[in-house]
Structure 1
Amino acid sequence: MIRLLMVLTVGVALAYGAGPALAQPAPVVPQTGIEPVDTLGNEVNTAVQNAPTTAQGLANTIVPGSGDAAKALVDIAASADPVGAVVGAVLGGLESKLLEVVLEHGKLKERVTTLEADNTKRAVDLQHARALVDQQATQIATLTQQVQSMQSEMAAALGAMEQQAGSLQARIAELERTKGTITAPFKVLDSSGFPMVLIDENGATFSIVGGGSTNIALKQGSHPQIYLGDQASGVSIEAGETNRISIVSGDSAVFELKQDAGQGVMMTATTTEGSVELGSGPGLVGIMVKKGDQPAAGLGTFDGRGIALRVFAASGMVVGAMGENPGAPGTGIAYVGNGTQNAAALAVAQDGSGIVHAFATDGTVGSGLIGGDRMVAAYNAAGNAVVTIGKSENSEGGNVTARDPAGDGIFRAGYNSAVTGGDACVYRAKRQNVFCLGIGAPGMGIGTF
């Protein structure tokens, strides 16, 4: 019986330590927020709280409902009843069972310790896991920010691509619309890189290697122009208010053909010797030949005068001309002079006959040939004939007549058809008679001729 009590006492002491049998506080397992670890901690608490705290509880744990029986056995043993010997064997078995329970409880306690260590390790692992989670959360936040930034960049890139696509579509449409059209400026090079063709806002230039080019000027605000040649010489064609064709040598035009609405048409060929002008306009209708800068000959108008064939002196003065007689329209006239006055003239009378005049130094007619009257005449300063030689008005013979200043005859000698010979007569105005020299008899006779 004492042995039984000792066993019970040792078992209780092994299970709970010395001292009164008090309920053990349940271990506090920290909550981690991780479900598997928290569940394990709860199981440990449940096991500790359910551990038996008294022998009676231990007996109940061993055999359900055996707590009261164990107590009765103890009481019998204490009464020194011989029955205790009988129960001894039973208690011996119970002692063995109790030892197993104590050992099992020790194992349980080791299990609890192991679980606590595991719990601590898992808590540490949990902290590492939480740090890793925090790190991953930071990385996720960073990645989220990067993704958002990439989304913004992609949206901007897509917008730019859409804009570029729109621009390309518009450009394609423009290219389709202007198919076969080339926009200036541009140039065409040969295999050596020499610019054969250059087209810009000023026009087009066609060039050849070694010199020479063709320029087509189409500059805004200027007249179109084509130039063929090089720096030394060339041909220029210009269109506009003044249409012009020029052959240029250096800085001078050696040939020029131009047309101007206000000046008509003018062609000029120039050399170092002089020039030839052919024109049809207010300044010249005809051709003008110049020696140096001075006119030498011309056929046409000159200085507002009518059309004539003119010969010029070295001074540029007209010394000979032939053209329409301004005093008798429809008739011709030719004259020579010294540039300041006429010296001789060949003209046409109103009846169509010819007249030749030789002028005196004062510009009046000195003598003349009158074709219509078949006469040669000498004129005074008043323009009256004072001597005439010509055909007789009475016959086919001729006569010579001397005249007074008014042009009236005062002496005549010539052929007399009545006597088939010559007569000479003098007219005296005061006596109002004519005295003639008789032929074949002395003295003077009256006759007509």
Structure 2
Amino acid sequence: MAEGYKENSITLPGAVAMGTGVMIGAGIFALTGQIAELAGPLFPLSFVAGAIVTAFSAYTYIKMSNAFPSAGGIGMILKKAYGPTTIAAGAALLMTLSMVIAESLVARTFGTYTLRAFGGDPDSVLVPIIGVGLIVVAYLVNVSGSRSVGLLSIIMAVIKVGGIALFGVAGLWASGLTFEASSGDTGATGFVASVALSILAFKGFTTITNSGAEVTEPHRNVGRAIVLSIAICVIVYLLVAFAVGSSLPIDRIVAAKDYALAEAARPALGQTGFYLTVALALVATASGLIASVFAVSRMLAMLTDMEMIPHSHFGMPGTIKDHTLVYTVVIAGFLTVFFDLSRIASLGAFFYLVMDMIIHAGVYRNLRHDIGARGWVMLTAIVLDAVVLTAFAAMKWQSDPLIVILGVIGMALVFAFVGVFLARNPVGENDHDQHKK
């Protein structure tokens, strides 16, 4: 599969566009209301806290990508940290599943905003139907080839960043810089728990890590692209959060949590602003899903090529990448149909935070001296992840214990699945070296 990865094919601006393109989608359109539900009036600051936690986490990825820029991305990091073990394969699969979960979040967000444009019920059965339709479209676009996906991602990233930032500025200006969402209770546990969802709005930076071998001057530009992407997104998220809080009181934000930006646009910007915001949401979610499907199918194909997960053609023609593309959209479609936005986001947070801690622990223990990393930064990242995960799990256990149980069972099944596979199909330590550039 090495021929599918072209060295120096992604410039620094292209890498930044890739990261922001994946991040700015459901991250802001679907999660703003859910974050406000947990954090109360302080919900804009939850994005700041999420960016801080993400910055500590990104340090490990940047140091590893600078030392070993690879098309294997996160799979490469885990395999170097742990070897071809169940921990490495299981954590890599958790990351992949968290990305697929994010796709279903994006798809349902697209369906919700589409119905709002026509005055439909956001709880309608049409939401998952429209979401699955978008997933099918994303599949068809990806089948057309990676070149069209890359070009579309860059164009859409510019439109999304500019459009959403404009929405934030216009909303603040129209509100007279007042903050309507200033009343309400804010508990410390609720705020910390909300950071778990805020982190989801930034985790798209890992897409850049997974394309490390293709970025020009990867030893420098992968890290730069990650830092720039996170910085751009935190500015955009803050603008939008304050604009929403300036337009609506906290109870209305929570009531409209699945379409908070559209709800905030009407009083702040009028009917025209409402429709423009919905249109922007549709563009952002659709393009984000297309880019994410491409990234996930590539990562699954690479993990298959590294012999860390099993693969079956199921009678399908084509390459492994063609097959993983099908697997990706089928799983995303299933989640879109059977889970609501809140549960999808919760499951994604559980999987991602556990995977993130596993990466930091492995690199700290086995590789930090090799890559010249500061151990205290990685330990801080682990502690922050653990605190956020504990608070989030505690809040969810009170409000929706089933999703906590499903999360634990899901993670146990992932590690059991890859454990059985690797026991029957042992992998050599250096089998992935061909992916290094």
Bin for the TM-score computed over the shorter chain:
under 0.3
Structure with more strand by fraction? 1
Task: Give 1 or 2: higher helix fraction.
Answer: 2
Bigger Rg, structure 1 or 2:
1
Instruction: Give the structure-2-normalised TM-score.
Output: 0.18
Structure with more relative contact order (C-alpha pairs < 8 Å, separation 6 or more): 2
